[in-house]
Structures are given as structure tokens and as C-alpha cells.
Structure 1
Amino acid sequence: MEKKLSDLKRVTFELADLYAQERYPEALDLGVGALKTFPNSYEVLEAVGNCYCKMGNHGLALTHLGAAIEERPNHPPAHFNLGVAHAATQNLDKAKLLYESAIELKPDYALAHFNLGVVLHQNGDGARASRSYRSAIKYQPVFPDAYNNLGALLESQGLYEDALEAFQTACSLSPENPQYHYNKGLSLHKLKRFREAVKAYNTAVHFNPDAPSIHANLGASKRQLGDAEGALACFDRVLKFNRSSPEAHHNRAMALADLGRVQESTDALHSALAARPDYPDALRLLADFDVSQVDARLKARIEALWGCDEQKDRDWAKLGFALYKICIHQNDFDAAFKHLCQARLALKDINPYDRSADSELFQNLKASTDAWLSLTLEKNTVMTSTPVFIVGLPRSGSTLVEQIISGHTDVQGLGELPFFPEALAEQVKTRRSPGKKLRLMRQRYIDRVAGLYKPGRYFTDKLPSNFRFLPILASAFPEAKFVHVYRDPSANCWSNFETFFSEESEGLAYCHDLEDIIFYQNLYQDLMSFYQERIGHRIYHLEYGRLVENWLDEIMHLADYLGLIFQDAMLNPHANSRGVTTASHMQVRKKVYGGADDKWRKFSANLNGRLDNLAGFRS
């Protein structure tokens, strides 16, 4: 008897050693043989069942692990292991019950809490999954996978700051795991902290240089930083792994467009379509970048895809925008208008606009203006460069103005920075005094923008929607300059209606409906007129039509307001080499031309007077 027990201990030890070394076939052979002598041994049944599970034979895994649980019905690992086998067969309900049984028998069973979280996450029960992951962390604080999964769950819920914190902890616990750094980069990108995202992705690349997804997302963040050359190198790297990746060809086309290399960009779009003929993004961009490249065969393909309208999602809407461009090229304005309206309606169903929310917001902004202006901070030396905030409605010419200003050697263009609205949103939730809020908003912005610009005289922040917060910005940044770009209201409304904005563009739900656009235009005009009365002396108003008509004079006046010595490069914004990722990235690569404000008139018969006689801003 003693010898038999000794043999069982030896077999159990050898099974555990082979399993730990992932030598599953050898362990299985040993275990199956041992069962002939020890048919009721829990340890052997468990080892054989786990080996079968690892080797993909889930039927035999369930048989042996089921026998193991009969031998030890009150043993927590028995329930846990059988749960793993059921999860492997996608029997998630059964797996959930077994993990819960394991936890009932052993409440501090961290791995069971973790696996329960995985099952709940897969079943869409985010709240309970979060509690399970947090329980796993409670009972096993050094559990990087639990932090990583918690981060992924929080990110799926749009809680990017909380997700980032979880991923950062996972990285600190397991600093050489590329997946954790990659996930951290994804959260940072969502938070529009692109420079930090690049750093996280670079760390992931260091530990896993052959993962195409890491290079693809690294390129996306570099592109948002205006590093189109760096982004292009990343997308080229992805294509070395997979020459037929339509997404990589599409992303490469976008980076080339940012650099103004139009022919190469359209060539890349053709490569994307060769890899995936029904790729909506590539079809829309090709029609947008160079509609002459869309022949009859390609148009027929787009129309066929457009006709499959069972699911009118964002991809379907992209095809409508492509047909809009094609029909304009063919001077069929009635058909163009029809396609555009249908595409916009689909997008409106996906992302409806709430007029009442904006009405309330704008009213509150006006009501709080004088209070914010009474809190002006003292200038200090924390910032090594002066911010130039370029504001206005989208499609008003703000990208062009940023290209003009950043053409000067003393100015660095940083594009659309989300940092001040984020800082404001954080402080609005607190009960701090207004003065404290203002100081913290300023510091938060300074912290976020640090490292994005080289010490110099000026940097630009061209987030158009910052027009809403001009009194707060003026108080928080007494040293700042403010350039308000405005345009003929009819032209601006139409341009917003006809432009397909990226998914990363926020707060533009009003663009899906002409009546909503006009409504927002009126809110904007009323607010800017109100601000003009309060802080007009701080704002330089620049009208797009006047800029185009009196190019040299207007740019010299702008330079004078900024305190810059005029430079010839400011006259050639199309030659500015900095990457541009806004909806105007192709337009700003062309020499400035007049007539853009009359484009909407081609659709007069379809508009029925809706854009006639709109009142615009007057400085």
C-alpha cells in the first residue's frame, strides 16, 4: 500500500513537472497510463483533463475533469478546471456557474474571479465583469492580466482615463509585455494624447517588432501629431508584413495626402481597392481626392454597393458621399443633392443632434462670461511660447489660417488640440472656487501641451470649437492671442453639410441636417457677437472672403496683430510642409482660389431658399 502511494506521488510530481513545461503530449501519455493503476485519483484525472483541454480535445477534457470533480466535489480547483473546459467549448453559462461555485468554496480565489470576469465580459455584463476583475486584483494585487482586462473593459465603456490607469499598472507589473503597452497606447490615442501614445507604441514595438497592428496604430498617432512622414514609414512597415492589407494602403494614402503627394495617394487608394474592391473608405476618398480617377466601372461598383441599403450605417453613408462627388463632376446636381441628403440622414440616425442641449450650453456660457472675465490671471513664465488660439466654425478657413501663421519661422502649428475643453470638463464637475478652477485649467493645459512644441515665440491651437470658451481662455491665458476666422454663413453652412468628417471629429452632430446647421450657425453668431461686446479688444477677426480677395494686405495685418515680422513664406500656405489631418488637408495643398463661397449656389433649386439671406457675423 505504501509503495502504491509512493508511486502515485511520483506520478503526480512528474505530471505537474511536464505540465509546467508545457509538454502536454508526454504528460498525457503518462497520465493515461497512470489511470489504469489509479482510476480514481483526483490528481491524475485533473492532469489528464487539463492536458486534453490544452491540446484541444475538449470532449475528453470534460469527461476527465467531470470525473475529477466527483472525486472532490468540495475542492475549488475542481470546479475551476471544469469551468475552463466549458469556456473552451463556448459553453459560457456552464463555465460561469462553475467559476461561481469555485468562488463560493474559496472566496479569495483570484484566478476564479478573473475567469468569471472574462465570461461576464464576453456575455456583455460589464458591471459584474468589472467587479470580478477588481476582486481578482484585491486577492492577488500583482495580477497584470487582471489590470489589462479591466482596462480593456473600461475602454469599451468609453472610460479612457480609467482604462489608461489600469493599463499603466499592468505595464508597471509586467514591463516587457508588448500587449499591455499597446493597449496603453490605444487609450492614450483615444484621449488624443498622441505623443504619449507614440511612446507607448514604440515600447510595444521594442518587445514585439513584428506585430502589424502596433505599427499601424503607431502610424495613426504619428499622423495625428502632424508627422506624416513618420506615419508613412509605419504604414509601409505594415505592408512589408502584408502587401494585400487594404487598411494599410488606405492609411498610406491618407499620410501621402497630408503631405500633398496627391498622385501617390490616389495610387495607394487603387491598391486598397485592388485588395478589397468594396472598401467604402477607399471609394469615398478616391472620389474626394481626384474624382476623375473614378471611371464608369468604378462608379457602377459604388452604385451597386449603395443599392444594398439593408443596413444604412456609416460605411453606407461613405458611398453616398462618393456618389455626391461623382455626380457633381458629371454636372448632375439633382442626383448629387439626393445622394448627399440620404447619406446625411443615415448619419443623423446614428448620431442625432440635440438642439436643446446646445441652446442651454450657449445660454450658460453667456451668463457666466462676466464672472470668468473678472478672474483674469497674472501672466507668468511657465509657458516658453505664447499660444495662438484659432477659432470659428468648422470649414470657415481656420486650417488655411493656421498654415499661413505657421509658415513663419517663429510659429509652430500644433493643429486641433483637445486639451482645453478636457481641462474645462474636469473642473466643471468640481466644487472648487472659480479662481481655483481657472488656475487648474491653465496648469492642466500647460501640462498637456508641454513637449508638443519647441521653445519659441508662438504655437497655434486650432480647435475651432474653442470659440465657445473665449472668455475663459482669455482669463486663463492673458498672454494668448485669439484669431477668429469667419465666413459667409451660407457658404459655411453648405461646406459643413457636404463635408464628411472623420470619426475622431467630435461635436459635429448638427452637420447631418441643414436646418440643424442653420440653427447652430445662429447660436454661434449670437454668441460671438456677445463676446465681441465683452472682449472684442482681445480677438482678431478675420473674414475668409476678405482674406482671399486681399491676400497680401490681410496677411500683413494678421502678422502685425501677432507681433510678427512679415515673412514671404506666409503667402504660400500650400507650400507649408507640416502635416495637416483636418478635413481641409487636400485644399490647403492647393494655391488659394476665389469662388469657394458661391459653390452652394449650384444647388439653389434644391435648397428652396434655405440658405438665402442668412445673417452672418459682423466684427
Structure 2
Amino acid sequence: MTHDTQPATAEELFARGNACAERGEFENALDCFEQVRLQRPADPGVYNNLGSTFVRMERFPEAMQCYWQARSLDPNNADIHHNLGWVLEQMHRLEEAVLSYQQAVQLGKLVDGSYNNMANCLQSLGRFDEAHAAYRRAIEIAPQSMVYYRNFVQSKRMTPDDPCFVSLQQLAGRADSLSPDDQAQMHFAMGHALADMGQNDRSFEHLLKANAMYRHSVNYNEAMTLGLFNDLPQLLSADVLRAKRGLGDPADSPVFIVGMPRSGSTLIEQILASHPQVYGAGERPDFGKALMQALARSDADQEKLNFDAMPTVTSAQLAPLGADYVRRIRAEVPDASSYRRITDKYPFNFINVGLIHLALPNARFIHSRRSPIETCLSIYSRIFQDVPFGYDLGELGRYYRAYDALMAHWRQALPEGVMIEVQYEDLVDDLEGNVRRMLAHCGLDWDERCLAFHQTRRQVNTASASQVRKPLFRTSLERWRPAAELIQPLYDGLGPALLDAERKRGAV
């Protein structure tokens, strides 16, 4: 006796695909949605779901193609326009993202998210008035969404009578009615707004609450992180760097701007990107991705990298790693061959300085430094996607101390001429002298446009998007500090050596 097996219907495959995606079985989800597409090639929903699955796999170009197809089939669907805008935003195609979000807000009703995302893009593009208007619309539509207030107050100096600040204060008065996450967002927003108004003591009270609340939602393994920093000088000693130098890819276009967040790296990149022979690529995770791929290769693959065997590493391992990074970053640069240098300012590349040097021996590094206390307090005042150590003053200080020790090792181990250090305070005091030094380090001729960096039109996808579009003033160094007893955990974490160095610079 035989049983006929009926093929799954499109509805069943669609539901199965959604279930697979929810479980993280993305390849199976793609297979289900692809089968649906074969049965219903004119269904915009299946292309939208394909796009969403590719997004979760971080395969953004393929997601974009799917959303384009969905849009062509259903041009009046606000959600599809929003999804397309989000993918374009992740691909740093911000002008196009803005257009997609504009379509979404024209077609949809509850489009606060589209207004907020559009505002984030406009902020990065330097279109500040448009960004502020979009943030206000997001808040009008969803006046209880605290993240919109936080984004807005971080982009615009508040005044006590601004309607958004008035609304924010009212919400702060009934904070207990908010979710823990919204309370944290609200306190960050209040902290930033009050600091702009000069109400510094009240501001820091809010920041203490904000960080304490937000820390509970952050996964950070301090012992593992600091242990890695401690191990790297042994794994990549000066002897290893000396013995293995020259085995990597010979490309000489990359310039890595490294250091702690909020240390002046965005300013350094903005200055360099004002030179016609430099492309500022922003914060790129490409070396980390290339490294993970090299580490994940099978044991039989001669290109597989093993951190524990760096003394025996070969050109067959290092050169492909460097070439993979160059391929990835050049793919993001329009007309890459026309630029002498391409900057990558992902700050946490400081962890991999030694390995980057082996993989790309002709690359240059610029270490962006700033007062430890100023750096840490600036980090403490904001939410960052990739700074899990920033919400506890003690953890923040200990992380900074470990970073400083690791950079001291790279400074001693790298060959002369590979890395220079630029102190933010010195850059403010002597802009031209430090710009000349950076350009010479990168092998570039002098160009006056680097001194007028604030006039350079380019997208800046960091928290410093507005600051780098203003001239430098020494008032940027004169930050208010909380009472010592409030930040004693930070002092303890930094340790006496860093604090003594601060005092010698006159910064404590």
C-alpha cells in the first residue's frame, strides 16, 4: 500500500520559513522562502522575508536586492521602504537610506521608527536642521519612546523651554511608570540635556542612575577581556614582530586610527579625509571579520591562522589575511584606486595592532590619545553598541589601564615609523603642527584643506558627527568634572601611574 505525499503549500512553507528564522536556522529559512518564491514569484511578502533573513545573516547586499524586488511589487508598502532604508543605512549608503525612509513616512501611519532612523542618517550627513525636525516628528508620534529623546538631545543643545525637553522632564517625573530600559534611556537623555544647560551636578546624578540601570542589560566578561590584553604581548612579542615582518600583503593604502572611543579619532579622520588623496572609510569591522575567517579555516587549510603558533606563522597565513582585509575595505570605497590612503578608524583595532602589522607591513597607524579621565567620563555619558565596559566606573577605569598597557607594548615592539601618537589636547593647541606630522607619517604632501576640516562634506557615522563640523576651540578641553568621591571607582580603576601622568599634564 502506498501513500501519496502532498508537496507543502506555499502557506506551509512560509510558516516553516518563519519558524526556522526564529530558531536561528537561517539557511533552512532561506530554502523555505525560496520554495515559496518559485510558487508565488509575484508575492512581495516572500521577498521581504528573504531580505529580513539575509539581514539576520548580515548579508546586506543580498538583503538589499530582495527589498528592491519587494518594493517593485508593492511600491506603497511603508514597511518595505523602511526595511530597505535600514539595510542601506548598514551599508553606509545614507543618502539612499534617507530617500527610503522618506517614502516610508509618506506612506505609513505609525512611522516613528522611520523618522528616527532618517534623523540618524541626516545627522551623519551633516544635515542637522533636517535631522532635528525628523527627531521631533518621531517624538510627536511616540512621545513615550525614550531612545528618540536620547538621540535628539545628543544631536542638539537643549534649552529649558524646548517642548521636547519639557516633555522629557515630565516623563522623568514619573520614571517609575517606564520600563527599566526606558528609564535608562531617559536618564541618559536627561544627563546630556542638563550638561548642555550647565546643570552639571544634576546631570551626573542622572548619568549615575542611567549607567547603573543599563549595566544590568550588558553582557561583559571583564576577566576574559583583560586576560586577552595581558596575553597579547607574549603572543606577539617584539621578537615575533621583528622575525615575521614583511610576510604579509604589500598593500600600502591602509591607515588605521586606533585608540579608545571618544579620544579624538573622528577628528583625526576628518582632518585626513579633507586631503584629496585620502578616503575616510569610518569605523570598519573588516579586519576583525577577515581575522575570524582566517581562524575558522580547517586545520588542513594552509591559510588557517593559529594565535598560539605565531612564532611559526608563515607568509601563506599572513598575506591572505592582509589581502582579505584590503579586498573588503576597497569594496566599500567608491573608485578606491584614485586614493593614496584609506583610513579605518575602528578604535578597537588597537587590540590587533601587532597582527595587523604582520598582515599589512606597509600600513600605518595613528594612535589617538586623550586625557584618561576625560575619555572615560565621555564614554560614561553615552550608550555605545560595542562598549560593554563603559557602564561601570571601576570596569571602565580597569579597561583603560589594560588598553594603555597594551598600547605601550605595541609602541615598544613596532618598528620605527609604523605608528605615531596624536594627543588630542596637543592637537587642539597646535593644529597645523600636528596635521603636518600626520600627513608626513602617511606620505602625503601638505594640503591647506586639512586645516579647514570642518568644511569638508562627508558622512560621519559616530557620536562626534556634529563636533567635527565645527572649528577647534580650546574650550573643548575645559570639561566639568564631578566631585572626586563620586568618581573614586574610576580613579581606582585607572591606578596611580595614569593619574600621576595626568597631574603632570595639569589635567587633574
TM-score by structure 2 length? 0.83
1:293 Cα deviation (Å)?
A: 4.9
Q: 1:375 to 1:188 in 2, by over 3 A?
A: farther
Q: 1:189 to 1:390 in 2, by over 3 A?
A: farther
Contact 1:148 1:170 in 2 (8 A): no
Pairing 1:322-401 to 2, within 5 Å after superposition: 322-370=189-237, 373=241, 374-378=243-247, 386-401=253-268
Pairing 1:49-88 to 2, within 5 Å after superposition: none
1:515 Cα deviation (Å)?
A: 0.8
Q: 2:22 aligns with which of 130, 136, 153?
A: 153
1:285 maps to a residue whose letter is N
1:571 Cα deviation (Å)?
A: 1.4
Instruction: Quote the residue 1:521 is aligned against.
Output: 400
Does 1:242 find its partner at 2:108? Answer: yes
Q: 1:417 to 1:317 in 2, by over 3 A?
A: same
Instruction: Quote the residue 2:359 is aligned against.
Output: 476
Q: Higher mean Cα deviation, 456-465 or 301-310?
A: 301-310
Instruction: Quote the residue 2:343 is aligned against.
Output: 460
Pairing 1:389-468 to 2, within 5 Å after superposition: 389-430=256-297, 431=299, 432=304, 434-435=313-314, 436-453=316-333, 454=335, 455-456=337-338, 457-468=340-351
1:327 Cα deviation (Å)?
A: 2.4
2-structure distance, mates of 1:387, 1:295: 47
Contact 1:258 1:581 in 2 (8 A): yes
3-state SS, counterpart of residue 421 of structure 2: strand
Give CA-to-partner distance per residue, 1:320-364, whole Å, 9 cap, x none: 111112322443322211111111111100004321011221123
Q: 1:196 to 1:440 in 2, by over 3 A?
A: farther
Give CA-to-partner distance per residue, 1:221-280, whole Å, 9 cap, x none: 333444332222111111220265212222222222122222222222222222222221
Q: Higher mean Cα deviation, 549-558 or 442-451?
A: 442-451
3-state SS, counterpart of residue 321 of structure 2: helix
Instruction: Quote the residue 1:533 is aligned against.
Output: 412
Contact 2:393 2:489 in 1 (8 A): no
Contact 2:253 2:363 in 1 (8 A): yes
2:329 maps to a residue whose letter is V
Q: 1:459 to 1:438 in 2, by over 3 A?
A: same
Q: 1:350 to 1:440 in 2, by over 3 A?
A: same
2-structure distance, mates of 1:297, 1:450: 45
Larger RCO: 1 or 2 (CA < 8 Å, sep 6+): 2
Contact 1:423 1:441 in 2 (8 A): yes
2-structure distance, mates of 1:188, 1:394: 30
1-structure distance, mates of 2:168, 2:245: 55
Contact 1:372 1:475 in 2 (8 A): no
Pairing 1:282-297 to 2, within 5 Å after superposition: 282-293=148-159, 295=161
Does 1:577 find its partner at 2:457? Answer: yes
Instruction: Quote the residue 1:40 is aligned against.
Output: none
2-structure distance, mates of 1:191, 1:217: 15
Does 1:550 find its partner at 2:430? Answer: yes
1:177 Cα deviation (Å)?
A: 5.4
2-structure distance, mates of 1:173, 1:439: 42
Give CA-to-partner distance per residue, 1:528-554, whole Å, 9 cap, x none: 001111115211211111111110111
Give CA-to-partner distance per residue, 1:421-479, whole Å, 9 cap, x none: 12222333454354354344334323433421222322111110010001110111122
Q: 1:148 to 1:489 in 2, by over 3 A?
A: same
1:367 Cα deviation (Å)?
A: 2.0
Runs of 5+ unmatched residues, structure 1: 1-73, 77-105, 116-142
Contact 2:185 2:210 in 1 (8 A): yes
1:556 maps to a residue whose letter is R
Instruction: Quote the residue 2:83 is aligned against.
Output: 217
Give CA-to-partner distance per residue, 1:181-211, whole Å, 9 cap, x none: 4445445555666555444433433343333
3-state SS, counterpart of residue 470 of structure 1: helix
Pairing 1:591-606 to 2, within 5 Å after superposition: 591-601=471-481, 603-604=483-484, 606=486
Instruction: Quote the residue 1:510 is aligned against.
Output: 389
Contact 1:294 1:326 in 2 (8 A): no
3-state SS, counterpart of residue 511 of structure 1: coil
2-structure distance, mates of 1:568, 1:482: 22
Q: How many residues align?
A: 477
Q: 1:294 to 1:319 in 2, by over 3 A?
A: farther
Q: 1:258 aligns with which of 117, 124, 131?
A: 124
Question: What is the alpha-carbon root mean square deviation over aligned residues?
Answer: 3.4
2:372 maps to a residue whose letter is P
Contact 2:275 2:449 in 1 (8 A): yes
Contact 2:396 2:490 in 1 (8 A): no
Instruction: Quote the residue 2:96 is aligned against.
Output: 230
Contact 1:167 1:184 in 2 (8 A): no
Contact 1:147 1:169 in 2 (8 A): no
Does 1:590 find its partner at 2:456? Answer: no
1:318 Cα deviation (Å)?
A: 1.4
Instruction: Quote the residue 2:505 is aligned against.
Output: none
> Which is greater in Rg?
1
Q: 1:309 aligns with which of 176, 182, 185?
A: 176
2-structure distance, mates of 1:249, 1:148: 30
Q: 1:576 to 1:420 in 2, by over 3 A?
A: same
Give CA-to-partner distance per residue, 1:545-574, whole Å, 9 cap, x none: 111111011101111111111222211222
Q: 1:249 to 1:296 in 2, by over 3 A?
A: closer
3-state SS, counterpart of residue 291 of structure 1: coil
Q: Higher mean Cα deviation, 312-321 or 559-568?
A: 312-321
1:497 maps to a residue whose letter is Y
Instruction: Quote the residue 1:27 is aligned against.
Output: none
Q: 1:567 to 1:245 in 2, by over 3 A?
A: same
TM-score by structure 1 length? 0.69
1:492 Cα deviation (Å)?
A: 0.6
Identity %: 25
